[in-house]
Amino acid sequence: MSYIKILVVLLACFSVHNTLFSQSDFEGLGETDFSFNTDVNDYYKLNFSVRSRYYLYQEENFDFENRQLDFVHFSTLSIDHNRSVSLGIQYRIRESIDGGSNELRLTQQYNYTKKNEALRFGHRARLEQRIFSDKTIIRSRYRFTLDFPLNGQKLDIGEAYIINSMEGLLSIGKNEKPELDHRTTLHLGLLVSEHLKIQFGLEYRFEAFNLNTEQKLFFLSSAILKI
């Protein structure tokens, strides 16, 4: 299978979105993430991360403005080589940054992966309870992911890799209409060392597309440290 052909198809997802939908409610944002993983044993691992999100383009103007700060933890238990379950907790700070509502988020996750030569496929299902000061939103999510190294059958130190994913989200809250979201993400990563990965990517979001569609383009950057 030609990786060049795969990459062309993945990139086409973004161009298709741009041609099919209007840009009247468009925003550009950036998100920077630093996370570290640690294996407690062969079956149990911990993840901690800090994420900063900021506006780059809004109301038809380019401008940098901080939006929020997230603190996230996940505990993951491997069922077998391909399957795992996780519990997560996240706290989002917005009120003191841009005046939005702070959020406590609880997450339950199931993850399944399968490898076919150099290609790895992933299925992730999440159930989230998003707790705000004035309401609670229940959100379900499903994500399909495809990743592969750009050289050879496996990823070696100093080599790059591609991660592409598509995700659907459904949010339900009391006295609120159900909301449907869609996200398409493309990452280019580099395995710097045995313990460090860096990634840069784009994510295009259609939020509340069944109600009043808002479109957001995210510029993503992250560092992942294994200790």
Q: The whole model's pTM is what?
A: 0.88
Assess if residue 61 is contained within a domain. Answer: yes
CA–CA dist 121, 192 (Å, integer): 23
CA–CA dist 203, 224 (Å, integer): 18
* Residue 63: domain span: 3-192+205-226
Structural domains counted in the chain: 1
Q: Tokens 């993400």 identify what position? A: 185
pLDDT tens digits for the chain (227 residues)? 455 545 555 555 554 444 444 455 799 999 999 999 999 998 999 999 999 999 999 988 999 999 999 999 999 999 999 999 999 999 999 999 999 999 999 999 999 999 998 999 999 999 999 999 999 999 999 999 999 999 988 899 999 999 999 999 999 999 889 999 999 999 999 999 999 999 999 999 999 999 988 999 999 999 999 99
The residues, any chain, with a CB within 8 Å of residue 97's CB and separated by 6 or more, are: 66, 67, 68, 69
Assess if residue 38 is contained within a domain. Answer: yes
Assess if residue 141 is contained within a domain. Answer: yes
Assess if residue 200 is contained within a domain. Answer: no
Give the pLDDT confidence score for residue 1 in this predicted structure: 47
- Alpha-helix residue ranges (DSSP H) falling in the chain: 3-20
Yes or no: say if 68 and 61 are a contact pair by the CB < 8 Å rule: no
Strand locations in the chain (E): 26-39, 44-58, 61-78, 83-93, 103-116, 119-131, 136-149, 160-173, 179-193, 196-207, 214-226
Give the pLDDT confidence score for residue 13 in this predicted structure: 52
Give the pLDDT confidence score for residue 24 in this predicted structure: 55
Give the pLDDT confidence score for residue 89 in this predicted structure: 98
The residues, any chain, with a CB within 8 Å of residue 149's CB and separated by 6 or more, are: 118, 155, 156, 159, 160, 161
